[in-house]
Amino acid sequence: MFSDKRFLLSISAVTLGLLIGSGIPAEDWPQWRGPTRDGVWKETGIIDQFAGDEVKIRWRVPVGAGYSGPTVAEGRVFLTDRVAEPKQIERIHCFDEKTGKTLWTVDYPADYEIGYKAGPRAAVTIDQGRAYSLGAMGHFYCLDAASGNVLWKHDLQQAYQIVMPIWGIAAAPLIVDDVVILQVGGKEACIVGFDKKTGQQRWTALAERAGYSSPVLVTQAGKAVVICWTGDSVSGIDPASGKVYWRYEFPPSRMPIGIATPVVHQDEVFVTSFYDGSLMLKLDQQKTAVSKIWRLVGPDEQNTQGLHSIISTPVRLGDHLYGVDSYGELRCLEAASGKRIWEDQTATPRSRWSTIHFVRNGKKIWMFNERGELIISELSPQGFKEISRASLITPTLEQLRRRDGVCWSHPAYANRHVFARNDKELVSGSLAK
């Protein structure tokens, strides 16, 4: 599905072939959910289980609060955060990957008029020596990744009259060839494509409300298609022109709340929402069109069908889907029908919005739960098999001032290390065998 040459070329920050130590290739994590934005981590030479109750920490550095996860490219780690006093500012940080030393920081005023004010949501995207950062109020920066020099910037709220989502702008920038694509939520332009070098607008698409889900690129009927889950639809868009190839209406019952990234497997696209359950779509490979396979939604948030996920993006393994339901229930679904195969409540505590971030490495699934624990596991139709668990980082309160805080930010996995943040610090932990 991700064989499109233009997509592969756009992920130029991936350091495939970089040799370390034993000569095994290492890999960067240059954008949201990894090199190909699908939660797949291909490195080898990784530990099979933890040596103790805590992950071995290489370094830790203080940071402010924020929901955005770190990204890693060419020896640098990128992260955004927020400081509320004495003035409200958002910050873009760059750290040395090996030592945690601050290489540069760029900050700008950002008065929050949104709920859950901990900080920025979107991970920084790295491409060909540039860092693309999107703030919660629509401040969009393109910076030189090495120096932090601002190459260009936009105040998207002013430029596009954003109908601001209740929780702000959250979808990470996606780069396809020479276009950087954002879910903006403008009054007449939900999705916008910009020239990645100059920042000039290339196109706009969809007069819809914004969602929080990051777009993904697929190949459909021989064409590059960007799948965007907005506040009102799941749509397929031409990344070069902004032409809407297809649109499947998926209006929310209460409010736009889709956060999880669309999960693509061959010709199937799966999305899941806290209030509105699960939707499985079929991509037509003869033409750019889509059809529904199934939809499941329960009567309320505690009596659910299929999967009612909030923050966590599920993982697809063969004929089954695995994800976290509304109160932290880890579930296995039959992909063909949405039928529940099993449910388990041991991977993360039962709580409203309880979260796990899944990353696949070979046959193992690495889980980072909201308690700051890293779990090495295997998932199958037979059940959840926990292999090893260790504490990585302590939950903090700014992201959620309940249940002694949470860790809701997606970690990065790069060069045999894990990088994770809470509201107070960013840590790097060794996962090398």
Residue range 249-272: average pLDDT? 97
Class of domain 5-430: mainly beta
Domain boundaries, the chain: 5-430
pLDDT, tens digit, for every residue of 330-345?
Answer: 999 999 999 999 999 9
CA distances (Å), origin 346, targets 199, 232, 332, 408 = 46, 34, 14, 18
- 221 sits in the region (left: phi over 0; alpha: psi -120 to 50; else beta) called left
Q: Which residue is listed with tokens 């697929």? A: 218
Predicted confidence at residue 17, as pLDDT, reads: 37
Predicted confidence at residue 207, as pLDDT, reads: 97
Q: Above 70 in pLDDT, residue 130?
A: yes
Q: Above 60 in pLDDT, residue 403?
A: yes
pLDDT, tens digit, for every residue of 63-87?
Answer: 999 999 999 999 999 999 999 999 9
* Contact by Cβ (8 Å): 65, 81: yes
Q: Is-cis flag, bond preceding 86, omega within 30? A: yes
Taking alpha carbons only, the member of 348, 321, 350 closest to residue 407 is 348
Side-chain-side CA neighbours of 206 within 13 Å: the count stands at 33
State which amino acid sits at residue 235.
Answer: S
Identify the band that residue 24 occupies on the pLDDT scale cut at 50, 70 and 90: low
pTM of the model: 0.94
Following CA atoms 385, 391, 392, 397 in sequence, which dihedral angle do they give, to the nearest 10 degrees? 110
